[in-house]
Chains A and B, each alone.
Chain A
Amino acid sequence: NAGVTQTPKFRVLKTGQSMTLLCAQDMNHEYMYWYRQDPGMGLRLIHYSVGEGTTAKGEVPDGYNVSRLKKQNFLLGLESAAPSQTSVYFCASSYDGQYGYTFGSGTRLTVV
């Protein structure tokens, strides 16, 4: 089925460890986004990309890095995980500004 696929679905990290979350879409969308969802905070934009090879900061970029080497993939990296990064991470994509977003099913990350 066409859509947005996130891996992994669950992960537990120790403080200071690093990891990469992968988002893949097969809809030929230009725009891709990483959000985090925390209780009482709603969804907040971490980083986004408006095309292959481009990335930009969102509202809460500190502690995260991203890369978009291929149009269909958007990677979110945590270089040195902190407990404050415990959250549910969602990737989304969109064709352009006229269209809606398609979301992945999320990655639940716990940093201990």
Chain B
Amino acid sequence: KQEVTQIPAALSVPEGENLVLNCSFTDSAIYNLQWFRQDPGKGLTSLLLIQSSQREQTSGRLNASLDKSSGRSTLYIAASQPGDSATYLCAVRVLQGAQKLVFGQGTRLTINP
């Protein structure tokens, strides 16, 4: 059974710092990995999608990497801003069955001005 873990559960950093969020998964048989952002009381916004054959994806100040063999992904946020404060979720899409998404518990990020 696929399990996804995100460390740390919460992170607080001063504005301007570069930071890394971690995601690990137990089964490398995945279609892709997706990073989401969730603001309090809101839905999930897709940030980056990495296909299983890819190593990384970039969007603006965000860069996500994928190492399928070791079951790890990182989300790198450059020059953090208070507006980046949110919960970040990673999810892997499993290959079997409905190819469902399996989510980590998320990292709650706070950027202090």
Contacts and interface: CB of A to CB of B under 8 A. Distances in A.
Given A31-B98, A43-B103, A56-B98, A100 B44 contact: no
B98 A101 contact: no
Interface in B21-63: 31-32, 34, 36, 41-46, 49, 51
B31 A98 contact: yes
A105 B46 contact: no
Nearest to A40: B105
B68 interface: no
Interface residues on A, range: 20 to 34
Contacts of B95: 97
Nearest to A41: B105
Most buried by B among A50, A58, A103, A108: A103
Interface of B: 31-32, 34, 36, 41-46, 49, 51, 89, 91, 93, 95, 98-101, 103-106
Interface of A: 31, 33, 40, 42-43, 45, 48, 50, 56, 58, 90, 92, 97-106, 108
